[in-house]
Homo-oligomer: A and B are copies of this chain.
Amino acid sequence: MAKELKELTSRSTNYAQWYNDLVIKADLAENSAVRGCMVIKPYGYAIWEKMRDELDRMFKETGHVNAYFPLFIPKSFLSREADHVEGFAKECAVVTHYRLKNDAEGKGVIVDPEARLEEELIVRPTSETIIWNTYKNWIQSYRDLPILCNQWANVVRWEMRTRLFLRTAEFLWQEGHTAHATEAEAVEETEKMLNVYADFVERFMAVPVVKGIKTAGERFAGAVETYCIEAMMQDGKALQAGTSHFLGQNFAKAFDVTFINKANTPEHVWATSWGVSTRLIGALIMAHSDDNGLVLPPNLAPFQVVIVPIYKNEEQSAQIAAKAGELISKLKALGISVKFDNNDTKKPGWKFAEYELKGVPVRLAIGTRDLENGTIEVARRDTLTKETVSLDNIENHIKQLLEDIQANIFKKAFDFRASVTRKVDSYEDFKVEIEKGGFILAHWDGAPETEELIKAETKATIRCIPLTGEKEEGKCMITGKPSKQRVVFARAY
């Protein structure tokens, strides 16, 4: 079926609708028959595979190994850590029975009331509890530490309002859970993984991030400190792209996990956890794409180059296919992924629009005149420009072009973020400025009540207390109390 390619809502008309249209029309994902759960379609999943493979490589390079822990968590486990249950009990899927049966009264298949579980099981919203219950048996001595495990898994949080990729009841993610002998080592791990995330998001997703620390009110349920990376979307809203938590000894105490330290004294183990999810795909879309469709950074595009042949008959088709074949070999030898679309049932114009919509970084078109002239048409998705270039050494030209596109996409996002980031010193100004979106750097007195007041009145939250950049002292814009540095405010996804 031909899709109506032109029906993408523009960003200025309705940004939320543009996002949803784009996810659907670019074949990334769709809503399923199960409320709040999405189907990740092959093209969207291919982006996730690219993300996963890169992150997995980075985790392994930093000494981590993968493992797999159960989907289900006994209800009582969730309650062991007081803040944790407070944070997750309100939105979880609860398994109460383990069998269906045919209804004796002919009502079809029903839950068998006799197959009720003694203790209900929660579908994991995150795995700290089941993992620390497991680590208890793995850890006796300091020699058993550190444990540096990661898992790739699905999790469920019963969100009431869902949006494809950004907030879904079930999502895919990775969650690292590490155990350490000292506080310093655990803090170092927390920061190391924050840096891995920032590096990934900036170098692969081409999205600049602010690294910082969450306020107590925005902290992960059960953490001592939550580190985060915050990204800016094109509509001026912030998006939390990843978090790394220093959990202190909270979970070790809740699950009674101790070790004998070098001084031969029992001590509770120190913990971290850190995760990123399929939400990153939402960030990727919203950071770069335009009214014509997706704009994918070459480092994460399922295929970086598409070749569209233009011909009038079989003979021309065969000639072009031969030339394209040579080119494909050369590109692949340079590690460039390429698709040759010689599908007969679609016209070149349709294909151009389709690959624009799907954000393929470079589109090559080759016709008979190109064959005669030894040229090819090269179109880049990020700038929507095209040029006719010689086929001589084209593969190196394209390799360089892909690097340029990656850098250009990052620069565009970086410049945009700079253009919507500003300092504000009075609450009067703040209330005006927050309506325009972007990051606002303002002074805050550190009090949860002040933070709550601002949130209630403006819908802005403190995205983070930044770790880098200038540390300028000042006075809270609400209370006038002293502040050691500006914090980052924004409305957020």
Contacts and interface: CB of A to CB of B under 8 A. Distances in A.
Interface of A: 1, 30, 32-34, 37-42, 45-46, 48-49, 65-79, 85, 89-102, 108-109, 111, 120-123, 130, 133-134, 137, 140-141, 143-144, 149, 153-154, 156, 158, 170, 172, 345
Nearest to A96: B96
Given A79-B108, A95-B95, A100-B78, A70 B170 contact: yes
A79, A102, A120, A141: residue with the most chain B Cβ atoms closer than 10 Å? A120
A128 to B, nearest CB: 14
Given A49-B66, A71-B154, 18 more contacts: A1-B140, A1-B144, A32-B69, A34-B130, A42-B65, A42-B149, A45-B65, A45-B66, A76-B108, A89-B102, A90-B99, A90-B100, A94-B111, A95-B95, A95-B96, A96-B96, A96-B97, A96-B111
6 smallest A-B Cβ distances: which pairs? A37-B70, A89-B100, A42-B65, A40-B68, A94-B97, A98-B158
Contacts of A94: 95-100, 111
A34 B68 CA distance: 13
Given A1-B143, A154-B154, A67 B93 contact: no
A66 B42 contact: yes
Contacts of A96: 94-97, 111
A350 to B, nearest CB: 13
B45 A67 contact: yes
- Stoichiometry, as copies per complex, reads 2
B70 A121 contact: no
Nearest to A170: B71
A280 to B, nearest CB: 15
Given A1-B143, A143-B345, A149-B42, A70 B32 contact: yes
B90 A72 contact: no
B95 A93 contact: yes
A30, A85, A123, A149: residue with the most chain B Cβ atoms closer than 10 Å? A123
B70 A34 contact: yes
B1 A141 contact: yes
13 contacts: A34-B74, A34-B130, A40-B67, A40-B68, A42-B149, A45-B67, A70-B170, A75-B111, A89-B101, A89-B102, A93-B95, A100-B122, A143-B345
A95 B102 CA distance: 18
Nearest to A148: B42
Contact of A39 (B65, B76, B134, B153): B134
A130 B34 CA distance: 9
A121 B34 contact: yes
B100 A93 contact: no
B33 A46 contact: no
Nearest to A137: B30
Contact of A33 (B41, B42, B74, B141): B74
A274 to B, nearest CB: 17
Contacts of A65: 42, 45-46
Contact of A77 (B33, B39, B101): B33
B91 A98 contact: yes
Contacts of A69: 32, 39
A428 to B, nearest CB: 41
